[in-house]
Amino acid sequence: MRFVDEYRDADKARALSARIASLCEPGRTYKFMEVCGGHTHTIYKHGLEDYLPETITLVHGPGCPVCVIPMGRVDDAIHIAEQPDVIMTSFGDMMRVPGGRGSFFDSTAQGADIRMVYSPLDALKIARREPDRRVVFMAIGFETTTPSTAMTVLRAAAEDVRNFSVFCNHVTIIPAIKAILDSPDLRLDGFIGPGHVSTIIGCRPYEFIARDYGRPLVVAGFEPLDILQSVYMLLLQLAEGRSEVENQYARVVPWAGNVKALRAITEVMELRPYFEWRGLGFISHSALRMREKYAAYDAERLFDIPGNRVADPKACQCGEVLKGVLKPWECKVFGTACTPETPIGTCMVSSEGACAAYYNFGRFSRQRVREATR
């Protein structure tokens, strides 16, 4: 297939649905986690649950980079933005993420200079244009966006741009998946692996999931047929008694990953001993920081950061949602006090957040209301 509409063919979806149903063992239920928030949005935007037997449950994981940022790190970024002559830059979906002291938008209203950018290179451009200001890029994301941050730091170093720095909040997906596998709260039969992250890290890092935990994983694309085929591939493995890592998204994901991107990350960054994740707590070796070699571009070294921990609002259950323990509509404030216009938690803010997906595509209860047919 070459065109997007071919990956959304209803006849092919129904054929896959029949093959999925034929693989389901009578009396058995299945629970698969789609790690990536992009998959969650595809599932509910296109109503893919209607193509699956009721014995198959899809739960979302911690694959939304904005959603896993703890409130304390947002407050730290606001603290940096409030320093003299600082311009804080950020991706758009971070602008409304609530911290203990409000959001970036709130701080902008109070006088801080926080600007939305589409790329860290935009932040570097601002630094060149305003050499008397200190420009900080709020770097977030999994391995998908980390190479662009690393390459921007390398360019800043090559051009000797001294007023540019990075507040690094990049996280890594593998430790988060391991934390979920080790959690007693959730029992899974397999994983729909993240497609975007895998374009960088490849498929090999997931092999421990099949080898050590006996759970199959299929790296999947983001179109409806991609996800249905990945569910079929997971069920086929279970039916045949296999537990392997397979690549459904082979048209984009190389098995060994993007070697040049990985090399750039390794050059500029190193693993932190530990990092706090919203909902998952502190996870060892799960995030990146700037290497000593690039300390001149590390905002955490250049600014005195409070580093305070901030508890989530009591009403917010984003942590349980991120772990797949709760569906968004089971949260007490979902769709009432917490909406995309008035978010309490990060899962309702991000374009990849599970709560935003459920809200935007009408999943307010366990039962999906099917469209009327003539």
Report if pTM > 0.95.
Answer: no
pLDDT value of position 372:
39
In whole angstroms, give the CA distance from residue 16 to residue 107.
Answer: 49
What mean pLDDT comes out for the span 338-359?
85
Contact 364, 81 (CB under 8 A): no
Strand ranges for the chain from DSSP E: 30-36, 56-63, 86-90, 114-116, 134-141, 164-170, 190-193, 217-219, 245-247, 269-271, 274-277, 281-284, 288-290
Task: Give bridge partners of residue 135 from the DSSP assignment.
Answer: 87, 164
CA distances from 261 to 149, 153, 200, 258, 316 (A): 11, 13, 7, 5, 36
Q: Rounded to the nearest 5 degrees, what angle is found at the Cα of 192, between the Cα atoms of 188 and 193?
A: 115
CA–CA separation, 205 and 176 (whole Å): 13
pLDDT tier for residue 225 given thresholds of 50, 70 and 90? very high
Banded pLDDT at 164 (limits 50, 70, 90): very high
φ/ψ region of 27 (left if φ > 0, alpha if ψ in -120 to 50, else beta) reads: left
Residues 243, 181 contacting (CB under 8 angstroms): no
Residues 6+ apart with CB under 8 A from 351: 37, 41, 93
pLDDT for 327 equals: 87
* C-beta neighbour count of 91 within 10 angstroms: 21
Q: Work out the pLDDT band at 272, boundaries 50, 70, 90.
A: very high
**Rounded CA separation 63/173 (Å):** 7
Query: Computed over its alpha carbons, how large is the radius of gyration of the chain?
Result: 21
Answer with the residue of higher pLDDT: 254 or 341.
Answer: 254
Residues 6+ apart with CB under 8 A from 281: none
Residue 210 CA to chain centroid, in angstroms?
Answer: 22
- pLDDT tens track for 65-113: 888 899 999 999 999 999 999 999 999 989 988 899 999 999 999 999 9
Average pLDDT over residues 239-259: 97
- Cβ 215 vs Cβ 209: under 8 Å: yes
The C-alpha atoms of residue 276 and residue 287 are separated, in whole angstroms, by: 9
Report the phi/psi class of residue 210: left, alpha or beta, with left for phi > 0 and alpha for psi in -120 to 50. alpha
SS3 275: strand
What pLDDT digit, counting tens, does each position of 8-33 carry? 999 999 999 999 999 999 999 999 99
The proportion of the chain whose per-residue pLDDT surpasses 70, expressed as a percent, equals 97
Give me the percent of the chain exceeding a pLDDT of 90.
73
Residue in the block written with tokens 């391995």: 143
Kindly tell me if the per-residue pLDDT of 141 is higher than 90: yes
Q: What is the DSSP string of 187-217?
A: --SEEEE-HHHHHHH-SGGGHHHHHHH---E
**Which pLDDT does position 344 carry in this prediction?**
85
> How wide is the angle at C-alpha 70 spanned by C-alphas 69 and 72, nearest 5°?
125
Average pLDDT over residues 295-318: 90
